[in-house]
Every structure is written in C-alpha cells, then in structure tokens.
A and B are shown apart, each in its own frame.
Chain A
Amino acid sequence: MSDEKKLFKVTIDNITIDVEPGTTILHAARQIGGDVTPPAMCYYSKLKGSGGKCRTCLVEVAAGSTADPRPMPKLVASCRTNVMDGMIVKNITSERVQDARAGVVEFLLLNHPLDCPICDQAGECHLQDLGYEHGKEGTRYEFKRRTFEKEDIGPYIQLHMTRCILCYRCTYVADQLTENRVHGVLDRGDHAEISTYISKAIDNEFSGNMIDVCPVGALTDKTFRFKNRVWFTKPVEAHRDCDKCCGKVTLWQRGDEVLRVTARKDQWGEVESYEGKTGWICNTCRFDKKSVKDWVIEGPSKVNRHSVISQGHYVGVSQPKETMPEVMGGRAPKLLMDIHDVSGVNTVNISALPGPATSKNYTKNEQ
C-alpha cells in the first residue's frame, strides 16, 4: 500500500477536503466550489507562471500545517501557495480577507473606465463579476482616470489599453503558444502598458487566444466589434476538423448568423481542456469560419443561470417542491390565501376557446 499517494487534508472556511500534494489553495477551494472559491483575475490554470499579481485571491492561513500550526503573518495569494497537510485557510470567514479584497477591487477599478455600456466584454467580464460580488457601491477616487493613446495591433484584435488591469495573461499566451512574442508590458507602475514594441501588429496563428484569456475588455475581437451584446447571442457548441487546433469551439449566434467564435470555457472562465490538452483555437477557426456551414453543431452550450447570458433562457430552473420543516420550526407552510381559489384564471382552458381569450371568458357566470 506504500504506492498509494498520501493526500493532504486542508480546511477552507471550515470545509475539509483531501487534495493531492502540490495543489494550490485556490485549486483546493475550486474542488469544494461555491462561495468558498476565491476570485482570480490574473491566475489562469492553463498558463504556466501566471498568477500572484492581482491580489484578489488573497486568503488568510490560520494554521500552516499540522507539523507547524503557526498562522502565516501576511495574507497569501492562494493561486501561488501550495497546501500543506492540516492547513487551515480562511477565505469568506475572515474579515481581514474581505477587507483586503474590497481594497483590491477598489484599486482595480480606480483607473478602469466605466464604459461597460459600449464595451464588448460586458456580460462576460470578470471585473464586472468581481465588482458585483466583492466591491463597494462607490469609489473614493476623485481624480482623472489614466488614459492611453489608442494603438492598432492588427486586423483581428482590438486593444483598449485603458481597460487593461495588467494581469499579464496575454503575454503568457504569446510566450507559451507561439514561437515569438512581439508584445509585452512596456514601462512600469501605473503607466505600464501592453503594447507591441518593434512589430506594429500581432500576427501569428494563435494570437486570437489573447482575447479569450483577457479578463476584461482590453483585448476584444475586431470581427465582433459593436455587432451585438453577448447576452443577445446564443452560445452553441460546435466543432470542425482543423489541422492546427482542436477545432472545438463555441459559436455565438443570432438566428442563423454566427457573430463570434470563441474557445469553450469552463465554469471558471478558462478555456476547457480535452484529454489533458488545453483547447486553444487557431485564428482560422476564430476569425474566418463565420458560417454555420463550416461547423458541425453539437448543441446549445450550458450557461450558468446566474450569468446575464442566460437571461430569458430558463434552462435547468426547478421550482422548490419540498419545504424544509426545520426552517419552519416543524410546521408545515400554510398560505393565508391561495390566489388560485379566488381567481378564475387557472380554471379557463385557453386552448379550448374558439378565439382569443377576453375578459368575458374569465367571468365565471358567463362561462
């Protein structure tokens, strides 16, 4: 039995889980799921070296391990800290963490323009979600926001540097997916910017993936620009034989028109993996195949029902049937008045009527 791997026991917000050694706190929390998972703006599990920068995933380590139960003095970045056996982590149960996270959200939004109404990312923007879940209602910043000169980085990708939160994900994509990176972070501090340096345009077969990894609307699809709002489009899973990439994509349709093609995303907003390989897609699939005929349709994508994209599509919604007696102190719920008893609405079979229903049909006497 010595071959069996020893699992580490880690407690996050009083929920204990066994994880393999080498797992980060963030991944352990993702295995638990739900509210316990810290948000992550810069970390991307498919990109080596990412994370640690945005500081939204800070958690408090109340006990380092069974062997050394001292707490860690500072909050740690959960995406880059590995769990130890017997570690006790506090995320939503720690006031320090909540306070620091609200601070980070405020910092991230300081210079971020509030142009969501004209931003193509709106509706699938991680910063929107973060601000909604962890931010404060207002900002205390009273100064002019930082802006940048507009820069053209080629025919496919639109760069809005003012929206950038400097997560560095797109530079990792360029480093790890392509042979040479032509863009990077220039300058430093609050005037640091994503830009190309020598080449004017970013031109390689996988550059489009920068759009998928961008958590905000700093990098958007030029072929989809101002075409539609994401919540008006319908995501459909589709695939095609592609010699460059896996060919598994999500088509964003309106009617039969394919407005946009992206890689498939998992519940954490990251590109999905197939058989251990990340499903990055090539620029041909993304930008050139904009017709339903190019694709084999698999069916509608599952969209989290909390997402604005699922508005109007009440898929997978179930009405609660059983009441929980313990909530009511053992009593069964009782309505003061059942509306159906007094209204005649539900007694009328509309389809049986010869014509459209009128108020006459609902008057009991005349039926």
Chain B
Amino acid sequence: MGRKLLLEKAHVENIRLYDVYRQQGGYRSVEKALKSMSPDQVTEEVKKSGLRGRGGAGFPTGMKWSFLAKPEGVPRYLVVNADESEPGTFKDRYLMEFIPHLLIEGMITASFALGSNTSFIYIRGEYAWIVDILEQAIAEAKHNGWLGKNILGSGFDCEIYVQRGAGAYICGEETALIESLEGKRGNPRIKPPFPAVKGLWDCPTVVNNVETIAAVVPIINEGGEEYAKIGVGKSTGTKLISACGNLNKPGVYEIDMTISVEEFIYSDEYCGGIPNGKKLKACIPGGSSVPILPANLLLKTAKGETRYMNYESLADGGFATGSMMGSGGFIVMDDTQCVVKHTYTLARFYRHESCGQCSPCREGTGWMEKILLNLENGKGKMSDIDLLWDIQRKIEGNTICPLGDAAAWPVAAAIRHFRDEFEWHVTNPEDALRRNYGIGHYADPIHVPVG
C-alpha cells in the first residue's frame, strides 16, 4: 500500500470544516514555517524535496520559486491555478472539494516563502460550488487568525481571494490566466518576459497548480529530505492520478510513483481492471494533450522494461514510443473504443478552446477537426492521413502558447500508433459507420493479469 500524504485524511468526516481539520493536525506547517523558518528556508526545503509542478509540465517547483524576481517596493503575487479543464483530469476538484483547508494551508506557507501578501485562486467557472467551499474555508481560516494582518505574530500579512474564470480552457495557461485575472481577454502573452519577472499587473508572479501548493504542506511538516525519499529518481513525493474511462473503479488515487502502470490498472487497490472482461486497447496517461499509447507500449517500454507511473518512465522513449505524466488524467480505453472517433473528439475540443490569437492554432485546429470528422464518418481519403500529419507538424512548436502543441500531439500520436485504424476507416467506409476496428494487431501481446 503506497503512502498517502494529501488524501490521508480525506475520508475523515467533516474534514471540510476547520475544527475537524485542525484537530487532525491541520495548519501545523504554517505554525512551523512562520514561527521557526525564514522564507528562504521554506523555499530551500521545497527545493530539497524535489517537488515537480503537478499541472503538467513537471518543472521543479523550488527552482520556479527561486527564479521569482524580488525588486524592492514591488508586490509579488502567488496565483494558484485551479482552472483544471483538461479532459480527463479532475484531481484538483477532488482536493478542493473535500479538503479545501489543505490548499489554504499550503497557500499561506507558499505565500510566506514568496513574500506574497495577496494571493489568488483562479478557479474554472464550471466549479461554481467549489468556490463556495473555498470561500467558506478562507473565512474560517481568517476567523481563526491564519489569514489577515500579522499572522501568528510573525509580522506577515496575507489575504487570499478566489476568482472564478468564465469557462475557458486557455485560461489554464499561466499567462492567459494572468490576463484573465487582470480582467482582460484570456489571450496568452508572448514570452519573455516570464511571469516570474512580469506577471500579474506587471509584478513578479508565481503560478502554481493546486496539487503543487497542497504538496507544500507535507513537505514543511516532514521536511524536504523526508519527502524526497518517497518515490524514485526525480519523481519524488506522491501524485494524484484521476483515472477514468473503461475501468472498474475510476476515481482519484494518490500514488507514490513506484508502482507500475500494469499494477495501477489491474490491481484491486487502484483501478481494479477493465470491466466486462474486455481487453486494454490504449491509454492516455496524463490528460488529453499527451500522446496516446497502445497497450503494448503502455505496459512495457520499447526496450522491454516495465513502465512505471512516474515522470521518467512514462516519458521513456520520447514521443516516438513514450508519453508524458502530464497532469495525471489517466484515460483508459478498451477494445470497443474507436481511436479515430476519440481523436476527433479531442480535436473538436481543441478547436473550440483555441483562443484564436495565432494563426497556426486558430486555423489548424479547425482543419484537423473537419478532416477527422470525415475520416470518422467514412468519407476520408488515404491522403487525408498524411495531410493530418503535415498539419499537426506545422502547428506544433509554431504557436505562442502550448495549446498548439497540446492540439497537435494527440493527433500525431494517434496516427503514429494507430495508423492502420485510420486506414481501415478509409478502406471500409461502411464498416466504419457500423462497428469499431477493435483491438487490431497492435494490441497487447502481453498477458492480461487476472484481478
């Protein structure tokens, strides 16, 4: 049984309320940080922990914090990115809904480390009820002296505000989030300057994911070195995985990044296997933007080693035979799923969510969607597959923000690994409307464990 740090107390009754949370040892990290540590020591502790950003890119958090410019007389801001809109990712929602005080506690400690007197939670508009939960948690924390002026007599002031987005995926990109928070149209900014130098209202800003900030709590409580002992290599600590798709037990799981993908899917402790005795066809291991993997490459790397649920192992083989940890949205597809239809669904999502600022993404995403719809409906041509490949190649890397890449990668990976399914849609247009391609010859040659 893996170790749990974030969701350890999630099932305690009424943990959402301050009194219960405090009884269970909540806000210890704030006490520890504000009474016995300096801001730099907190940052140092986070650096030692090896914590990597949980939003998708996996950039070391301690490093990000130390890049923050600290000019005199200019306020600094901490912004928590709760605009969790990636299809397949719902870990932050679980965290904020059930233990909101963990996020507030982490934010106070992080704000102290960064010197941010005003911190923001930018939450996606669709999480309307969570805003109320967070507001209540903030009010409770404030009432009990954890927020406001001169917290615990340390001379540190901090306020936390919750800002609701208006339902745009692009506002999860940090500079678009900042623009939106400033009250403007959520268009990503052109970098440089980076937010660490010029962010919110041109002040140095750190934007962190909800889970990253929540992970600061156990790091301070237990010490960075202790935290770094969990996990393997550069994938330290625990990670929340939101598993969904064709699974017996979909849901949010906290893993310590030492388990294999096979164990995660098939063991009863986690997802409990695939229902109705179906076979595993493909999986997107880190949220919709990361490359899809067929079963054989998912469970074992190209070199034949077992693939583990951590940053390095999932990325092993690069984009040719690997994928990414991403934001931890684990989407599993069984042999009744159609990869072409699935790719079309994602392309439709990215077309709808493109901000329309730069031309490759604005025009390219719509084009890909239309071609994929034709292919799915059996109206495609063989040349369309190569055309799709060429379009995604011209979008990837040529856009302002990573949304272009995020739209291109799923299409690229689907063609790379499932080309015969695309071709089958072209050569058997009538069949393609009636039934699915099934598992094909690329599906797992590996034995399917029982239970």
Binding site for B on A (CB under 8 A): 51-56, 58, 74-75, 77, 80, 99-100, 103-104, 106-108, 110-111, 140-141, 143, 146, 165-166, 168, 184-185, 187-192
Contacts and interface: CB of A to CB of B under 8 A. Distances in A.
Nearest to A41: B359
Interface string B157-176: 00000000000101000000
27 contacts: A52-B400, A53-B359, A54-B359, A55-B358, A56-B359, A100-B394, A100-B398, A103-B398, A104-B359, A107-B360, A107-B367, A107-B394, A110-B363, A111-B363, A141-B367, A146-B366, A166-B357, A168-B357, A185-B356, A187-B356, A189-B352, A189-B353, A189-B355, A189-B366, A190-B356, A190-B365, A192-B355
B356 A188 contact: yes
Contacts of B168: 188
Contacts of B358: 52-55
A285 to B, nearest CB: 32
Contact of A75 (B354, B362, B398): B398
B12 interface: no
Contacts of A100: 394, 398
Contacts of B366: 110, 146, 189-190
Contact of A104 (B351, B352, B398): B398
Nearest to A189: B354
B370 interface: yes
A53 B362 CA distance: 10
A166 B138 CA distance: 41
Nearest to A185: B185
Question: Closest 3 A-B residue pairs measured CB to CB?
Answer: A103-B394, A192-B356, A107-B363
A53 B190 CA distance: 9
Contacts of B360: 55, 103-104, 107
B148 interface: no
Contacts of A141: 367
B71 to A, nearest CB: 20
Contacts of A191: 356
B354 A52 contact: no
Interface in B348-403: 351-360, 362-367, 370, 387, 394, 397-400
B172 to A, nearest CB: 14
Contacts of A192: 355-356, 362
Interface string B321-358: 00000000000000000000000000000011111111
Size range of the chain B interface in the assembly: 20 to 34
A53 B354 contact: no
B354 A188 contact: yes
Contacts, number: 89
Contacts of A52: 190, 358, 400
Counting chain A CB atoms within 10 Å of each CB, the highest count among B351, B355, B398 belongs to: B398
A98 to B, nearest CB: 12
Contacts of B397: 74-75
Contacts of A140: 387
B400 A53 contact: yes
A190 B354 contact: yes
Nearest to B351: A189
Given A107-B362, A140-B387, A184-B185, 6 more contacts: A104-B360, A107-B367, A185-B185, A188-B356, A190-B351, A190-B366
Nearest to B350: A189
Nearest to A105: B359
B359 A107 contact: yes
A21 to B, nearest CB: 15
B203 to A, nearest CB: 18
A55 B363 contact: no
A188 B352 CA distance: 8
B357 to A, nearest CB: 5
Contacts of A103: 360, 394, 398
Contact of A107 (B352, B356, B364, B370): B364
B202 to A, nearest CB: 13
Contacts of A75: 397-398
B387 A166 contact: no
B354 to A, nearest CB: 4
A143 B391 CA distance: 15
A225 B140 CA distance: 64
B407 to A, nearest CB: 11
B363 A190 contact: yes
A35 to B, nearest CB: 21
Nearest to A54: B359
B387 A190 contact: no
Contacts of A74: 397-398
A165 B358 CA distance: 9
Contacts of B185: 184-185
B4 to A, nearest CB: 38
A262 B162 CA distance: 49
Given A52-B400, A100-B398, A166 B370 contact: no
B367 A188 contact: no
A190 B362 contact: yes
A189 B362 contact: yes
A362 B357 CA distance: 67
A80 B193 CA distance: 11
Contacts of B365: 189-190
A264 to B, nearest CB: 29
A206 to B, nearest CB: 22
Contacts of A58: 398
A166 B362 CA distance: 10
A24 to B, nearest CB: 12
A104 to B, nearest CB: 6
A55 B170 CA distance: 19
A189 B186 CA distance: 12
Contacts of B367: 107, 110, 141, 143
